[in-house]
Structure 1
């Protein structure tokens, strides 16, 4: 055991918390959501060939005679559940599970704050603020597949606005599986909403988060119940957040030949925002007399946001006629409401076969209005602007999966997915009550159709060697009408995937994983067909017009993943993994000067530019110190470190990396359970270094160092009541971003510096 300590140090200690997973999947290799809502039935089901075999894997002893196997099977029937670490160990496809303890540990107010501490996950935007998207392996938006209950959320839905109280567990899958869409070049994060498994008490949570004296409250209630064959879990909450924002920007226009600054603008933005939200996510399950089950879980989220900001502009270099305004006051309001329904019917057949039919619907609307009034140096009003946007979404989906055991330790599955969606958008941009440009009032409508079919075979080839082989075909068709033009885009992709795990003989706690996969990234709807965004600064390439490209092709990626895992004690793990992806049809936005009906303007358009490669290593460990030293204090260690490389063909180096990908990222944390006191304290450090990316031949984007230090304390007054105090971003630092475009001998640059703040939270959790 002493030899493991150096290994753990090299892996930067450990990550993740120890918590109970709600999943006891019949097929551990596939994501838990495939049996969504069927936990109670799983506990009673012993027909699957993987049930007893999976439990034997979890034992630290070699395979035992039939008597031992029967004893293990009896534990499964009684309803015991594998914890997060055990679920990960038994899965053939690499999957990490993070349950309620990880979700509750730091008292986070959004799922985004939880995700930033998970292995290989980074967040865009300023520390503690988010807003820049969720990324795995450092890759930007679109490479990481985000799911809610195994389904893609509707466009415009923000996972950062999702409260951790709504979530049962988070599953992180580094490689695609056939059952889900293979739009997962970097990986998949699946958010499983609260379930009713074994919950008996009414749970109340009340919290207050304070940022520079501004309070933001939250209250949530979870209520289980049962009547006959019907069980339910009602979860709902109210929340409000208040924020202060302050950003300073330096805009430079420089001649490349002699490096002379032709124009310099200093912009100071300062404002306040308030967000109010409500969420409801009841869950209903009915069990029929033949053991069939019907589950339905609607999910409603509604948010209202208001804000005001003041902008001051000074121009140390350049003539005043180049100054659009010296002062601007803006007000904004927005609202969004999303409703999704998830349902499934599980029918059990002879010989352990099952048919799981799922269905769902979705709808959403979002509206936003921004008013801007500009003034000159003397305070005289210049021009008033109004930007209004209204978007409507609706969707229907159905799918299913048929599973059949072929023999002991061998499970075959096949299924389908069909989804149809409609989106309409109306955008109006006015200046002094008149349209800014001919297309400033644009109506846009789009329809999407997605059809997929898959087969997968999971097989325990030997006692120590398991494999998962899957094949998925997915086709997407998008049609749109905008500004009197009808366009369409059709694409289809075949995605074979292979996952395997080998448990090393004589070393029961060691195993090796390998995966060969093909995945893809579909063009975003806004990148293909979108309402044009018209900039008010036509001579500034750092703030260009933005349009879509209906001829975009999906990116295709072939990948390999390798991993070594060593399990410590009951819940500890030390692992090292490596990955590589070769990407074709890489999509990038390119900014060029175009002649338009309104004169020469800088326009940003997405295009396919060629090929790219990315690779990386990921080190992870988590363990209680008592697993290494029996007399050690009750400290749990958790941390992870990732190192990434990438190269884009056709763009000059040395920083021709994939967009937004840092070179490395790390997390480290400790949790200390005090002896003699019902108190647990802990903290964590999240770090991402400065990043410079040559996005195109003429454009460079940069991001400064991101460092966030969090602490928390948990006092348990009784088994039913506890108070959690947290402090996030204890060492607030300035968050820096920049962008520059080299255009015909002139370099236009914008460098932004945003303030960040410490947030203190107090949270009461009680069972009534």
Structure 2
């Protein structure tokens, strides 16, 4: 009911704003919209207006000129290394880190914060639960916007910040481009093909981007488990060998149609299709050197995942004589994921053999609408009012069967559950040029989310949260300087529990213990609320040259983390609210062409960044009681050099790890990672070029450790090593 009233109020407000905009009003000297795409004719207009206001001879640069702090990664940077997925691109972006080795299941972090503190958007909208970034090919992306502070236009579920991935929008007449590549390493290999087509005909313009990839992997993973008694004497030791063999197949398709109507309106139809198949066979063999063996020392597991996602967007843009502009979008999403796990294990003495088939299916359907009206009738102001609402339904089913007796199910029976998520937000914002040197962004957003989960094995649970977020950002260009400016932002953000974390559905581990527990959701989770402050200094002294220093702070209430408990019979991991947390960060960045510091014609560009992050959770004893999975220190160094038909470069990414105290009894450890990547681009003929890239040249392994202490019993430790090896990719790129 409340959602309907709000929607009606938004519609009425927009109608009145359109009607009230005076036809004779003078167009504002600038039209800036925080976080909005600047393409086509509007982008050209904005650039001209930016030049007038700032008095700069350089082209419009969103990093420098927008009041809201952001980093824009353009298409040239995205495709530079010929990466197979967008996670490898993001790991080189200043202030952004990627967990693990960037493979399946990895997550993106800003300010070092994982576990959902960083909001991921696709074309400005939240991605559905079944979508993973490792399935997105870089060739489908137009640009990546890294938003350091929240703005009213996008959801304020962005405690650490937001990353908005914008799919290809540029349409080039007569575009015909194909890329054929192959990657190879000690444990992975496979081809990939990318196709780009585009053309214009009268009032119509269209483009199609497609990517297909097939990768086979075979690797050996190692695990060591040990147990020590309260006196520190080892009384348990298990050595595990987990050879893995599997493959990944991915197909992505993104067609786009632009129709410029006779009355000046524009209709844009964009479709995104993503289809993935993943299969992995793991044969676990555990040797027990000391203490009791696990329940299943010889465990054979085959896991498969088939998923698809379809998103259809229709975008309508209309301009009014008064200078107002309406931009509305309606999108529909459909997706499904089917997971199967076959487990066969030879039991220890007293434990029967395991022959189990676990099947789980997820179907998602949703509709979303976003829109805004901008009014530039008041000189020096860029006013905007908008809405963002949607409804998502998720149906899940889980079936467990004895593979030898397919009609026999466990005592609890099959599990079925449905989740309904309704979301509505309204916002207003104004970007005000107070003086030629000083601009202010003011925004306010109200957002409500209601989630209801019901199933046949648990009582229905309902979770409702509403958040009002006032937002303030400002940019001040210091007078009598060539390119010095100061930034400041004050924001209120939050993080609502995701649906899967609310469902009290249990997934059982085969060898249940403190470091390999069952997993279950918690319907009593509360949303996390954060108050954030950001401040920074930037210095621009030449085209493409900058130095930036920024600091941030976040106070987070109801912080959430996964903790392991003993429920009387088994060890279980579940998300819990753990009280107040505090996060602090410092970021340094510089980039410049060599000619900006010395008189040279050498085409060499240099970049460097450093991020240091701190955090603490009040309810968790120290040391190392920081937010779960936070990266305390990261740094990047990169260079690009161009000579005649050759362009080459490289990047070095350092990411510190270390221990994190999850609770008074539980500690996790993530290894330090050093990634060295190199590339060379050779322009063979005007329309054909060869790109060769090498990643993880240092052959870094990924190591994860966890430990759990039980008073009076001792400490259980687990260490898992995922071997890494250098990967070489060659891509032939042709235009025709």
Moved more, 744-753 or 267-276: 744-753
Please name the residue that 1:264 is paired with. Answer: 237
1:624-671 deviations in Å (ceiling 9; x for gaps): 101111225221101210001111102111101011112210010111
Q: What's the CA shift for 1:214?
A: 4.7
Q: Which consecutive unaligned segments of at least 5 residues does structure 2 have?
A: 1-28
Distance 2:218 2:173 in 1: 39
1:23-51 deviations in Å (ceiling 9; x for gaps): xx974451134x6xxx223146x5xxx66
Does the alignment pair 1:691 with 2:691? no
Could you say what secondary structure the match of 2:577 adopts?
strand
Q: What's the CA shift for 1:159?
A: 1.0
- Counterpart of 1:316 (choices 285, 289, 306) is 289
Higher RCO structure, 1 or 2 (CA under 8 Å, sep 6+): 1
Does the alignment pair 1:366 with 2:333? no
Distance 2:448 2:206 in 1: 36
Could you say what secondary structure the match of 1:244 adopts?
strand
- Counterpart of 1:92 (choices 63, 67, 80) is 67
Distance 2:544 2:505 in 1: 51
- Counterpart of 1:522 (choices 492, 496, 501) is 496
- Counterpart of 1:627 (choices 584, 589, 596) is 596
Give yes or no for contact 1:513–1:563 (8 Å, CA) kept in 2. Answer: yes
- Counterpart of 1:486 (choices 457, 460, 467) is 460
Q: What's the CA shift for 1:135?
A: 0.6
Give yes or no for contact 2:32–2:382 (8 Å, CA) kept in 1. Answer: no
Alignment of 1:542-581 (within 5 A): 542-581=515-554
Q: What's the CA shift for 1:542?
A: 1.5
Does the alignment pair 1:760 with 2:718? no
Distance 1:96 1:285 in 2: 27
Please name the residue that 2:640 is paired with. Answer: 671
Could you say what secondary structure the match of 1:202 adopts?
strand
Distance 1:616 1:215 in 2: 38
Does the alignment pair 1:648 with 2:617? yes
TM-score (norm 1): 0.88
- Counterpart of 1:121 (choices 76, 96, 102) is 96
Give yes or no for contact 1:476–1:491 (8 Å, CA) kept in 2. Answer: yes
Q: What's the CA shift for 1:288?
A: 0.8
Give yes or no for contact 1:305–1:333 (8 Å, CA) kept in 2. Answer: yes
Q: What's the CA shift for 1:252?
A: 1.8
Distance 2:127 2:148 in 1: 20
Alignment of 1:421-432 (within 5 A): 421-431=392-402
Please name the residue that 2:315 is paired with. Answer: 344
Please name the residue that 1:744 is paired with. Answer: 711
- Counterpart of 1:219 (choices 179, 193, 204) is 193
Q: What's the CA shift for 1:437?
A: 4.8
Q: What's the CA shift for 1:397?
A: 0.7
Give yes or no for contact 1:303–1:337 (8 Å, CA) kept in 2. Answer: yes
Could you say what secondary structure the match of 1:352 adopts?
coil
1:392-430 deviations in Å (ceiling 9; x for gaps): 111101121011013222111101111000001111234
Could you say what secondary structure the match of 1:711 adopts?
strand
Alignment of 1:250-261 (within 5 A): 250-256=224-230, 258-261=231-234
Please name the residue that 1:40 is paired with. Answer: 40
Moved more, 569-578 or 741-750: 741-750
Give yes or no for contact 1:148–1:192 (8 Å, CA) kept in 2. Answer: yes
Moved more, 369-378 or 389-398: 369-378
Does the alignment pair 1:399 with 2:370? yes
Distance 1:227 1:52 in 2: 27
Could you say what secondary structure the match of 1:660 adopts?
coil
1:487-542 deviations in Å (ceiling 9; x for gaps): 1111100111101000111113111110000000111111112532122334x121
Distance 2:145 2:618 in 1: 33
- Counterpart of 2:205 (choices 222, 231, 255) is 231
1:705-758 deviations in Å (ceiling 9; x for gaps): 111111110111233221100010011122211111112333222111110111
Does the alignment pair 1:56 with 2:52? yes
How many residue pairs get aligned? The number is 703
Give yes or no for contact 2:661–2:668 (8 Å, CA) kept in 1. Answer: yes
Give yes or no for contact 1:60–1:509 (8 Å, CA) kept in 2. Answer: no
Give yes or no for contact 2:482–2:541 (8 Å, CA) kept in 1. Answer: no
Distance 1:527 1:705 in 2: 28
Alignment of 1:373-392 (within 5 A): 373-375=344-346, 382-392=353-363
Q: What's the CA shift for 1:457?
A: 0.8
Q: Which consecutive unaligned segments of at least 5 residues does structure 1 have?
A: 1-24, 62-71, 73-80
1:130-184 deviations in Å (ceiling 9; x for gaps): 5221111110121000001001111120111100010011000101100000000
Please name the residue that 1:712 is paired with. Answer: 679
TM-score (norm 2): 0.92
Distance 1:416 1:60 in 2: 34
Please name the residue that 1:179 is paired with. Answer: 153
Relative to structure 1, is the Cα distance of residues 493 and 199 closer, same or farther in structure 2, using a 3 angstrom cutoff?
farther
Distance 1:686 1:56 in 2: 39
Moved more, 393-402 or 245-254: 245-254
Distance 1:649 1:333 in 2: 40
Alignment of 1:716-735 (within 5 A): 716-735=683-702
Could you say what secondary structure the match of 1:519 adopts?
strand
